[in-house]
Chains A and B, each alone.
Chain A
Amino acid sequence: MATKAEHITQLKSDNAELYKNVNGVRIKLSDSEYDAQIDEWATNAAAQDAKDTVIADGGSHADYKAIRKNAYISALGDAYDQLDYIYHNGLDAWKAEIKKVKDKYTKP
């Protein structure tokens, strides 16, 4: 997971100059506009990295309650599939599988 500073460095390397289109006219960003745009992109990229980490790794993250909840629900799987799993494997096996998800996505 890259830091915001690392994103800034990469974005500046990838975009030596930036342009905007205003009412159909292509205009090069001023130095201050350029810095502000790079900073905005880097801030968003760092935030996205943090969200991706929550989804991939689980854990307890108070700042991303909704994200954790969605990932948790997705990991639990469809209710009908869970019933089918219980039918074939029994309640204890099902509880063991659910515990894995609960342990991964702990409450903050």
Chain B
Amino acid sequence: MGYYGKSNAANPALIAATEVSSDTASVTFDKVFNGETNHYRLVIVDLTVDNADCDVRTLRRLNGSDVTTEMDTMGIANELQASGASGNFTNATTDGLNQFDRNETGSDSTRHTLSAIADYFPNVANMPSMFHQSISIGAGSNALGSADNAFWFERSNQLIGSTAFDGIRIHTSEGNIAGGKFYIYAMV
């Protein structure tokens, strides 16, 4: 039986990382999806934001510029509560924008922290696409409750057409990113 993971010993390779500890309008990874692999993973840990009532979002990059090509997107989200029911988002198109939450990072007085995993297929022959899972919860809290509710969010999207991309920019709808750890892995 062949061993498919021989080239990287079956381990994801960390190819870029940065940690934000002071206000930053955006975190950009340019030219990281360089085609050596087809599958990359962005991991965000403990992202916090300055402003209340904003969402965390991403734009794809190509050659150092934002990619605003029209994109199909669908998602599902909800608040993690006993009575919570999932909310589906109708299929929609955006100008390259992908939301990582739903205006819940930083939306209450305790501030929320967001962690996320996003898988990218930026340079495949068909349908450059991505999907992600994220969760936000009151910073410093491990419990669910009225002031510290957790929110989960899943979304998948694809660029309409075959526009490839080689990077990603993480930012918010309003205000700075206050902190967080960001990692890019090359998978397979």
Q: Assess the A21–B20 pair: CB atoms within 8 A.
A: yes
With beta carbons under 8 angstroms apart, the residue of A37, A44, A48 that contacts B25 is A37
- Which A residues between 1 and 19 are near B, CB-CB below 8 angstroms? 11, 15, 18-19
B38 within 8 A of A: no
Taking the closest CB of chain A, its distance from the CB of B122, in whole angstroms, is 16
Which residue from chain A places its CB closest to the CB of B64 in the assembled complex?
A: A22
Q: In the assembled complex, which residues on chain A have CB atoms less than 8 Å from the CB atom of B142?
A: none
Q: In the assembled complex, which residues on chain B have CB atoms less than 8 Å from the CB atom of A22?
A: 28, 30
Given contacts A48-B103, A66-B90, contact A21 B24 (CB under 8 A): yes
Q: Assess the B28–A21 pair: CB atoms within 8 A.
A: yes
- Which B residues between 1 and 38 are near A, CB-CB below 8 angstroms? 16-18, 20, 22-30, 32
Which stretch from A23-31, A56-64, A84-92 is at the chain B interface? Answer: A23-31
B46 within 8 A of A: no
Given contacts A19-B23, A24-B16, contact A41 B174 (CB under 8 A): yes
A20 within 8 A of B: yes
Taking the closest CB of chain A, its distance from the CB of B105, in whole angstroms, is 13
Interface centre among B16, B25, B53 (most CB of A within 10 A): B25
Q: In the assembled complex, which residues on chain A have CB atoms less than 8 Å from the CB atom of B174?
A: 11, 41-42, 44-45, 48
Q: How many residue pairs bridge A and B at CB < 8 Å?
A: 54
B176 within 8 A of A: yes
Taking the closest CB of chain B, its distance from the CB of A8, in whole angstroms, is 12
Binary contact readout B61-95 vs A (1 if CB under 8 angstroms, 0 otherwise): 00000000000000000000000000100100000
Which residue from chain B places its CB closest to the CB of A22 in the assembled complex?
A: B28
Given contacts A18-B25, A66-B90, contact A41 B20 (CB under 8 A): no
Q: In the assembled complex, which residues on chain B have CB atoms less than 8 Å from the CB atom of A66?
A: 90
Given contacts A22-B30, A24-B16, A48-B103, contact A41 B23 (CB under 8 A): no
Residue numbers of B with Cβ under 8 A of A are 16-18, 20, 22-30, 32, 53-54, 87, 90, 103, 173-176
Residue numbers of A with Cβ under 8 A of B are 11, 15, 18-24, 26, 29, 37, 41-42, 44-45, 48, 52, 66, 70
Given contacts A15-B23, A21-B26, A26-B22, 5 further A-B contacts (CB under 8 A): A18-B25, A24-B17, A42-B174, A44-B173, A48-B53
